[in-house]
Amino acid sequence: MSKGARAGAVIVSFFAVIGLLVWAVVGYLRTSPPTVSASTSSTPGVVNLTMQTDGAVGVGPHPNWVGYFVQDANGGWHQTTLIQLPANSDIHVTLYEYDSGGTLRNNVWSQVEGTVGNVAYVNGVAESIVNPNTSTGNGIAHSFNVPALGINVPMYGVSGSAKNFCSSGPCNLSEAHTTMTFDFKTGAAGTYRWQCFVPCGLGFLNGNGGPMTALGYMAGFLKVV
């Protein structure tokens, strides 16, 4: 090969390597879950956030993992855990919980904390402790926990043997569910991580693998702007 041909070959392979790198990186950075904004309400300073927790999301690469769907302003459901909220506002959360429940690894998470009045309404009834050992519910299915805001809201599970048990998300209200409502205040702008404290990664040691360690399932951010 002549010098010119060698130079050409080097330059071509250089760009081929760059191309390969870009392709690999793009392929690796899997499509990130979308960020959904909470919808505004008629009351100034208050926004509504509607979410559902499903025993199996039914979509995406891991259809049998537990995960969240968040409702956008038009009523559409998105499988995500990235939620955009306005700063210094009152967030009115409605959470439909469709998964079955169990016990907690640490019972301290059965206390409702950090919400307005330190209570959450379970099917309309105010509760400050969701006791995993009572027969009221079917154990605790999940919890909504934002460490930096001090928020912890445990959610009762539904009976796993219910006839209308939702086996694949997004679920609808005709299926067995627990409705949780609570209010909390967002503080200053910032990114706040939130997670679940019920070991719900089925098939993973301590229940803390899989969906517990993936954005879009049981790990997410509140993007307060």
Partner 1 sequence: MAIDFSKETGIGSSGGAPSGSSTGSGKFSPSVITGIIGGGVGYLFGHWLGNAIASGYQQVSGSGSNDVATLLGYLFATVGWFIGLGALNYPLKKMLGIDPDFSEPELGKGMSKYFKYTVDHKIVGVQYLFGMLVYFFTAGLLALAIRTELLSPTTHLWGPDTYIEIVGEHGTMMMMMMTSVILGPFGNYMIPLMIGSKRVAFPRLEAMSFWFTPLSYFILLSALWQGGFQSGWTSYAPLSLQQGVGQDAYIFGFGLQGLSMVCASTNIVATIINYRAPGMTWSRLPILGWSMISLGFTMILSIPVLIDGLYVLALDRSAQTAMLYDAHGGSSFLWENLFWFFGHPEVYLLAIPGFGVVAEIIPVFARKPVFGYKTSAAGMIGLAILSFFVWQHHLFQSGMNPDMRPLFMLTTELISIPTGFIYLVGMGTLWKARIRLTGPMLFMLGVYFNFLFGGLTGVYVSDVPINVTVHGSFFVMAHFHYTIMGGVIFAFFGAIYYWTPLVTGYQLSEKLAKIHFWSMIIAFNSTFLPLFAVGLLGQPRRVFEYAHRLQHLNQWVSISSYVLGLSLMFFVVTFIWQLAVTRKPAVRNPWGSRSLEWAVDSYPPPQHNFRQVPVVLAGPYEYADPDALPIADIVMENKDRAPVGVDR
Partner 2 sequence: MSKVVLDESRSDESTKGHISKILISWAVASIIGMSLVWFVLGPHLPPGTMTDQAAGQQFDIKFVSTLAVPVLFFVWFFFGYSIMKWRVRPGEDPLAGGANIRGNSKAQGTWYILTTVIVLGMAVYGTYFLVVPAGAGGGEGASPIWTPATKNMLQVQVIAQQWRFTYRWPQFGGMETTSLELPLNTEIQFNVTSLDVIHDFWAYQLGVKADANPDYNNIAFAKTQQTGRFVVRCDELCGIWHGAMYNYGNVVSQSQFQTWATNMEKQNAAVTKLLPKYATTYTPSYSGAGGGYYNTATDPNASL
Which of 192, 7, 161, 14 lies closest to 87, judged by CA? 192
For 20, the enclosing helix (H) or strand (E) is: helix 3-28
Q: Please provide the DSSP assignment of 99-166 as one string.
A: SB-B--SSGGGGB-BSSGGG-EEETTEEESB--TTSSSSSSEEEEEEEGGGTEEEEEEPBPTT-TT--
Q: Decide if residue 3 touches partner 1 (CB under 8 A).
A: yes
Residue 52 makes CB contacts below 8 A (sequence gap 6+) with 68, 69, 71, 77, 95, 96, 97, 98, 169, 170, 171, 177
Stretch that binds partner 1, among 125-133, 149-157, 171-179, 204-212 (CB under 8 A): 204-212
Instruction: Indicate the residue among 61 and 203 with the shorter CB distance to partner 2.
Output: 203
What is the Cα–Cα distance from 81 to 97, expressed in whole angstroms? 15
Q: Decide if residue 21 touches partner 1 (CB under 8 A).
A: yes
Q: Decide if residue 188 touches partner 1 (CB under 8 A).
A: no
Q: Residue count of the chain, please give it.
A: 225
The binder of partner 1 chosen from 44, 75, 124, 203 (CB under 8 A): 203
Instruction: Indicate the residue among 5 and 173 with the shorter CB distance to partner 1.
Output: 5
Instruction: Indicate the residue among 47 and 130 with the shorter CB distance to partner 2.
Output: 130
CB of 207 to partner 2, least distance (A): 3
CB of 199 to partner 2, least distance (A): 5
Q: Decide if residue 206 touches partner 1 (CB under 8 A).
A: yes
Contact positions toward partner 2, by CB under 8 A? Answer: 55, 99-108, 110-111, 113, 128-129, 131-133, 139, 141, 145, 147, 150, 157, 160, 193, 195, 197-209, 212-214, 219
| Token pair listed for 153 | 């809201």
Binding residues among 42-71 for partner 1 as defined by CB under 8 A: 62-65
Instruction: Please identify which residue in the block is written with the tokens 């719900």.
Output: 200
Residues that bind partner 1 (CB under 8 A): 3, 6-7, 9-10, 14, 21, 27-29, 32, 62-65, 190-191, 193, 201-206, 208-210, 213-215, 219, 221
